[in-house]
Amino acid sequence: MKPIIGIAANERSMIEESEHWLTYTPKNFVTHIQEAGGIPLLIPMGVIEDAKAYISRIDKLLLAGGHDVSPQHYGETLHPLIQGTHPERDAFELALIKEAVAQKKPIFGVCRGMQLINVAFGGSLYQDLSLMENPHLKHVQLPTPFRFATHDVTLNADSQLGKLLGTTYPVNSFHHQAVKEIAKDFQVIATAPDGVVEAIESHAFGAPILGIQWHPELAAQTRPSEQAIFTFFVQTL
């Protein structure tokens, strides 16, 4: 039987200032989970009390990118450089993480998803990369298309991701926040040359948890190694 992969969905209005709203996830996630042999199932934002029921119906949870995580979840006030937040999304996805851990379901976070995982377990974030001591890479690669890698990351050779991708791996980059203090029971398994955390993992909660900062969904169509990340998540994690 194919694994059912729950994707925590985002939402936005169809037209600016409109009351017509969409629940969605980037189609790339759907496509590459299907190609990995999984069945994608979107989980719309809802009331926290429903998180248990949603998680009970899936095998694994995927947290995608999007809004900045509100700094209130790691004890800070909003910095002037923070971008759009979505308190209801934060609250619901944090509930999904809590339930996935309780039900021992693996979790995979991409970009914001990784950052939210770190915050959920007590870590913190740089609200903007300019607040780091020595950032020197361009972590928002526009106008370079996302199917191209723009910098390397160094991976822990003993990590599952390191065994899959090797110890030096080129990635795309589209983020202005980053992991600051790593959560307890998590390990940093990949970093960029300027020290930005690019991947984290934990095996301390009954089921594995993996987060990556780059966007394999935007490159998997042309880079088999990025599709391999989805296959690893769907079939192995």
- Catalytic annotation, residues: 111, 215, 217
Cα gap 163→139, rounded to integer Å: 25
Of 106, 103, 176, whose CA–CA distance to 137 is shortest? 176
Contact 182, 191 (CB under 8 A): no
3-state secondary structure the chain: CCCEEEEECEEEECCCCCCCEEEECCHHHHHHHHHCCCEEEEECCCCHHHHHHHHHCCCEEEECCCCECCHHHHCCCCCCCCCCECHHHHHHHHHHHHHHHHCCCCEEEECHHHHHHHHHCCCCEECCHHHCCCCCCCCECCCCCCCCCCEEEEECCCCHHHHHHCCEEEECCECCCEECCCCCCCEEEEECCCCCEEEEEECCCCCCEEEECCCHHHCCCCCHHHHHHHHHHHHCC
